Structure 1
Amino acid sequence: MVVSNSQEIVDVQIEGVRLEQVTSFKYSEVQIEENGKQDLEINSRLESTLKIYHAMNENFLSRKEISRSTKMNVYKAIYRPILTFACESWVLDRRQRSRMQAMEMKYLRKVKEITRMHRVRNDLIREDIGIEPLQDFKEKRQLTC
């Protein structure tokens, strides 16, 4: 794969075997595109996180016997790392940031047992739970590298 804006074809051979040129590939669970964008990677992260959310929803998040602190520990240990895996190199546009925030708030609203129909602002939910915004978490991770 060649990362560039042009459609140039590069002929790479190793011991007489021609390597195929592709537009994207997955390396170490991170999707890399030839145009340098992260759309496929963000979609993959959101899809993986949504699967985890649905797996936990019935038997874990909906149960009143499980404390809020336990649910938040699961958020910090499982949910958020899946959502932000390899986020250190991301440069997100407004739409991608919004989709990531929506996925974050899906979990946090379920923990608080409120829906969007309650019309409670995201900042108030995060403040009540005591969690930093996902965007701030991502930026801190980017600064540590």
Structure 2
Amino acid sequence: AIIGVKQGDLLGPILFTFFMAAVMETWRATSSYELPTFRSRPDFQMTGRRSTARGDEFTIGDSEYADDTGMPFCSRRDLDEQTPRVSAHFGRWGMEVHEGTLDPSGNVEKESKSEVLFCSAPLHTYTNASTFDGADLSHVMLPRSRFIRIVSEFPYLGDMMARDGSDGCAVDSRIAAAGKAFGALRKCVFSSTSVNFAAKRAVFESIILSILLYGCEGWSLTERHRQQLRVFHTQCLRAMCRVTRKHTWDHHISTQELGQRLGIETIDTYITRRQLRWGGHVRRMDYDRRLPRRMLSSWIAHPRPRGAPKMTYGRSFCKALKQFHIDHE
């Protein structure tokens, strides 16, 4: 074959990385539109920063992983103007943006795999929150009866992103996926009397928890989200110990006791360990060369809207540090 890279070729991923770098470098060199601007400092202050504080300003124009590309646009006008150009640019490099198509009568013939996530401001800042003050959320129309739809939730690299910036949809999707995996193995492993607790724990930690907590390193978890994960975790513990909820009530068996039988820790402990492991990895990155390190202590030069502050990644990470008694000052 003369198209693509050979399956199993060790050079394939490396060559494709160079190829995508060339695609995006030429895009950046030939495009000019407003990009989201952030400020950062080479410290580790993740909460309580004043929006007017001085720092190193930088912009983010795109994010790539293999052939998955994310591109932020600051306005509907930029979105409408640049989306056809993005499609044409990738086409010149032999790449195809997965767009939807409309039939002659205007009905959807094929859905678009590529999607646009509209990120809203806090709802209380709108005069009419139901319409986001008249924001245009119609399809982005492209030449040849093609379109890209605008969504409120967007799956990206195995995780979920929501319009309001919360991680509720990510938690829900992870619980659903982990529940399916647990159900598939329940009869033959988790509820089986011929499988000992050590084996159940090994399978649960390596498969179920890996599915459940995928992407949790970047979650901003509220107490409601944590409680959802705790409930699922407790249900799994009861199933592995072959006890019902009524049995635990009648015999006063606590979730902690079930975990001790299996040698499984609390779900909060597993989450915190993953968050701290990832945080330590990013903390050791070079501030001047690595974007994740800059984003770790970044903020935007815009005052926070009135009202109770939402849970942020910085607050969630500081909570993880506090749980393990690590000084974050």
Shorter-chain TM band:
0.7 to 0.9
Letter in 2 for 1:141: R
The answer (yes or no) to whether the contact 1:97–1:135 under 8 Å persists in 2 is: yes
Higher percent of residues as helix: 1
Structure 1 residue 51 corresponds to structure 2 residue 184? no
* Structure 1 residues without counterparts, runs of 5 or longer: none
Q: CA RMSD in A?
A: 2.4
Equivalent residue number for residue 220 of structure 2 = 91
Q: How does the TM-score come out when normalised to structure 1?
A: 0.84
Equivalent residue number for residue 124 of structure 1 = 257
Distance, in Å, in 1 between the alignment partners of 2:198 and 2:156 is 35
1:23 Cα deviation after fit: 2.9
Q: How many residues align?
A: 142
Deviation string 1:76-116 (CA, Å, 9 cap, x unpaired) is 11011111000001122222211111111122112212121
1:3 Cα deviation after fit: 9.5
1:62 Cα deviation after fit: 2.4
Q: How does 1:1-145 map to 2 (within 5 A)?
A: 9-12=76-79, 13-14=82-83, 15=85, 21-119=150-248, 120-145=253-278
Deviation string 1:50-95 (CA, Å, 9 cap, x unpaired) is 1112111222222211121111110011011111000001122222
Q: Which moved more, 1:90-99 or 1:43-52?
A: 90-99
1:22 Cα deviation after fit: 3.8
* Structure 2 residues without counterparts, runs of 5 or longer: 1-70, 88-139, 141-147, 279-329
Equivalent residue number for residue 19 of structure 2 = none
Q: How does the TM-score come out when normalised to structure 2?
A: 0.40
Distance, in Å, in 1 between the alignment partners of 2:226 and 2:173 is 14
Higher percent of residues as strand: 2
* Structure of higher CA gyration radius: 2
1:41 Cα deviation after fit: 0.9
Percent identity (aligned) = 24
Distance, in Å, in 1 between the alignment partners of 2:259 and 2:241 is 10
